[in-house]
Amino acid sequence: MPMAEAMIFRSDGNLRTTAGWVAHEPDNLQHAQNYTNTKSGQTKSGDRNRVLRAIEITAARYAHKEILQRLSLSSPNWHYLFRALIEAESLYRSDAVSAKGAVGLGQLMPATARALDVDPKDPEQNLDGSARYLLTQLRRFRDIDLALAAYNAGPTRIRTYGQVPPFPETRRYIARIHRIRARLALSGLELLRPLSPQQRPSIPRVTTVEQRH
């Protein structure tokens, strides 16, 4: 079984993981420039709380998967990883739509959503599909960084290069997710008690999008 991944904070304030990644970018990276959104332009606090709760519920649904144990990802650490991915992808915006057509919280491409049999405009289905797609990459590559790279750049490119491809965007993406993970872990994020199906949050579906120029 592989050793658990460690996150080390350096004297310059940057984060280094045992996988060798250094995360030095601010958490407010201008990821928003990569997608369009609805007229609101903001995520209301109530909507954000519902999204965070839905992320937690989705992560808990798959926390027992064998690949997570193989990678020494405990239930909280899996939750941090999945939540960090969603933050990096959409800044918790259920209405995020990229210029390339990726949709929703996990920025699923239409073809990927069809393969996962989810409606990407439905936030809860989007999260479920995103979690399953990330787990697929973890099983395929048995490495967190390679799985994140595959989520960002596609698994074909990972197989082509045999490693994280030399794309600045993908490398920044991985570093950003590690930094978000570390921030969540250091914040002492407490996972909430399970909710009954009747208590589950309701997040508005994506209905219309407007191009941001």
Q: What amino acid occupies position 207?
A: T
**9: which strand partners?**
15
| Residue 187 pLDDT | 85
Give backbone dihedrals phi and psi of 85, rounded to 5 degrees, phi first.
Answer: -60, -45
Query: What is the value of pTM for the model shown?
Result: 0.74
Annotated active-site residue in 89, 124, 169, 210: 89
Query: CA–CA distance from 47 to each of 51, 54, 95, 159 (Å)?
Result: 6, 10, 11, 38
* pLDDT, averaged across the chain: 80
pLDDT at 208: 32
* Structure tokens given for 39: 């007229």
What's the pLDDT band for 46 if we cut at 50, 70, 90?
Answer: confident
Does the pLDDT value for residue 125 go beyond 70?
yes
Q: Is 89 a catalytic residue?
A: yes
CA–CA distance, 164 with 147 (Å, rounded to integer) = 9
Q: Where is pLDDT greater, at 155 or 29?
A: 155
Supply 69's token pair: 């144990």
- Work out the pLDDT band at 40, boundaries 50, 70, 90: very low
What does the pLDDT average to over 101-123?
Answer: 98
Radius of gyration of the chain (CA): 16
Please report the pLDDT score of residue 8 as a whole number: 52
Write down the CATH number for the domain with range 44-188. 1.10.530.10
